Structure formats: C-alpha cells, structure tokens
Copies of this chain bind each other. A is one copy, B any other.
C-alpha cells in the first residue's frame, strides 16, 4: 500500500522526505518551491500555535495583522535590511489588470510595514511598551527547497515590540528566547543551546540576534528560532518617536522575533526513526490510538463495545482516538499509526477482554506490555509522561555524545568531515576567520553559547586571543 521508507542510516535526507510524504505531513505543490501542509502536518502546527500563542499572551503580547504587501520604497528605507531581503523577494508588478506605479514586495518579514504604523500609533511613554505578534505567511524565494525547512512560502509568527529604553528591549529579547527554549524543551522534547549570533549571521538590520539551536538526528544544526534586539535602527528610519516621562522626545527601542513551520521539520529530524514520525505526547493531537482486534465476526460486538467504553473513559484525561475502520486490518493500522508517530498504541482483542487488560505499545521504545483495565487511565497518563521525558533525554544524550571540545584546527576539520557533530572551539571574533572556516569546512558558527566557562583561549583558526568558545557545525 505505502512505499517503503528509506532507512535513516542509509540516506538521512531521503528518509526525511519519505517520512513527511508518507506520514502525510506535507506534499509538494505544483508551485515551484511551495509546499502544501496536509491535515496531519497542520494539526501539529495548530498545536504549536496554541501553546506559543498562550505563552505570548501570558507575557502581555497581543495579536494583530498587517498587509501582505510591502511597497518597494519601504523595504529600501533600512539599508542593511533591503540588502538582506530584496534579492529573495517575490514582486507584484500588476494589480487589477494594470501595471502598478510602485512595485509591491510580498512580505519576507514585516519590520518595515509594521513600524510605519507604529510611528502613527506611538506618541507617548503611555503607549509603551507596544507588544504585538502576528501569525502570517511570508515568502522568500528559494532555489533549492526542502519540505518545512526551506520553502519559498512558509508560515510563522513574528513578534514586533517597541519600548521606552534599551534595557527594556534587551529584557524582552531575552524573555522571548526563554519562551522559545521552554517551548522546545518542554513541549517539543528538543534540547536547545541558547546564545548570540555572530555579526555576519545576525538579522539584517538588527543590533544583535539571539537564537536557539538544536542538533538534528544527522548531527547537523538547525536554527530553531531567533530574537533580535533592533536597537533604534528601525525607529530612526521609520521615525517612531515618543515623548518620555520627562517630556523629552526619543526614538523607541525595538525587538523582533520569530519561529516558523521549520519547527515541524525539527520534530521529524530529532525524534523520527526508520518506522516514521515519532511525536512527543505534548505535540500530538491524538496521544494514543485504541485498535480493536477480532478474528471472528461474533467477537466484534463485544470488542467494539469495550473499546468504545475504554476510549470514552480515557478521553477525560488524554486525547485518544478509536480506529474502528473495518476495511483495514489491525496490522495495516499498526503500521499506519507508527508511521504517523502517535505516541501510544493500545490493542484490545478477545483474549485481552478475558484478562480484563489491554496491550500497550510505546512508539518511542517500541516496548509492549499488558495493562489491566483498573489501571488504564493512570497508566496511560504515566506512560505518556515517560515518553515525553524519554524523547527529551534521548535527544539530549545524542547531542552531548556528539558535541566535542576541540582546540586543534586539523582535528576539527577531520572530525567535522568524517563524523560531524557540534564543535566547541575558541574563536577570536574576527569575521575573516569565520569566513575562512566556513569556506574550508562548510561548517558555520552557529552561536556564542550563554553557558560556558569563561576561560581565555586561542582562536582555533588564527591563534589570536579568544574570549569565548563558539559552537561550529554544519547546518540546515
């Protein structure tokens, strides 16, 4: 029925695509570079949205919606920004059958259009902080695309805030990084490193970019989310001024931050295996599936009756689906739900009914064990919690096992080339060393991590004095 999934160890990249297509998370569309997010994939995105949205609102942010189109002149106002984004934009030149007087860029990000409005709305310190988030689609033209990771159109949230002081803006930038970290670690069960991007990797127009980076199943890095302290760069260009409490006029201090449907790619690459997707319980819209099994027609009514009762009962605590489709065999269903990554499978047949028990099959470890009906509700919750923890711990161990502290450039080159992983090395801070390392190894400085022993050292490339270690890795 389904095609076979390429083995993860044989070809990680083909395995990734196979899992996404066959678990029906997404599909290629007839529009070059754009994908279709299918219901299974969109359900994961909705789960992500609802959790993040709650976290944003609990910290005082409100949602709004700004235009899809950005006039060419707006994008050109901030020099670094236009240089970074204009080459990868889709450009509307006709509207309503007529050539436009001014080209419209499909938003690659919304700083310019949003801050033009902020200039209109913000007058006084009373209007600050302004804490706005937007859930939207954005377009960045891509030649080589990859489902969820790099597509011409993608979905994301972009937060854009304005503050009265530098300190408040910096605090906001870091608060968001904490939210992203909590989301990755507690909900996605994906451990992340937090830190600062280098000058050459920072957001076009930002003072400073913070990020979270995660290790994928092939030991490559994925930038998981970014939070930018924009300083007054944009407020000066878009004239976003306010009257301070003391009656003076100042430009506001700004931040912007975002995560995208890339998150789904990370989920696949961190937890998936040769049998397909493996969803952490907190990311699954159905956390368990009950599969009723019978051989003889006369066994069917009692099995279905018990199955329905157990599901009704379980659904008071967790989200459980009953798969009672009759035109598929139990074996077909096992395969299907493993592929789609449902955390827990609960089998129920006539033998189980005799023993007043069910068979649990964990998606993460593939362990199977009997659970009595008495304990069903409690055990289901307990096992789901264990799965959530186990996935995180497994991913953390994998990252730790594949992170290497190295001080010799040739050793780094060799190991980066052969086995891959994250390399913690000293770097002097010079963009020239950074560029050369990238050219010679295809690995990039992912971040300057927050957590490190602040020992002085020598740059792995040029031997000059270094203030900190950085994480270098090949990345998506």
Contacts and interface: CB of A to CB of B under 8 A. Distances in A.
A30 interface: yes
A411 B148 CA distance: 62
Contacts of A29: 66-67, 113, 116-117
A62 interface: yes
Interface in A115-168: 116-117, 120-121, 126, 132, 136-137, 139, 141-143, 152-153, 155
A192 B67 CA distance: 30
Q: Which of A29, A97, A139 has the most CB of B within 10 A?
A: A29
Interface in A63-91: 63-71, 74, 87-91
B96 A93 contact: no
Given A39-B62, A62-B42, A90 B69 contact: yes
A391 interface: no
Contacts of A43: 62-63
A38 interface: yes
Contacts of A153: 67-69
Counting chain A residues whose Cβ lies within 8 A of the other chain, the interface size class is 35 or more
A42 B136 CA distance: 13
B67 A117 contact: no
Contacts of A335: none
A140 to B, nearest CB: 9
Nearest to A35: B67
Given A66-B36, A153-B68, A87 B96 contact: yes
Interface of A: 27, 29-31, 34-39, 41-43, 45-46, 62-71, 74, 87-97, 103-104, 106, 113, 116-117, 120-121, 126, 132, 136-137, 139, 141-143, 152-153, 155, 327
16 contacts: A29-B116, A29-B117, A31-B70, A34-B69, A36-B117, A39-B62, A39-B63, A68-B137, A68-B153, A87-B96, A88-B96, A89-B96, A94-B103, A96-B141, A106-B106, A126-B327
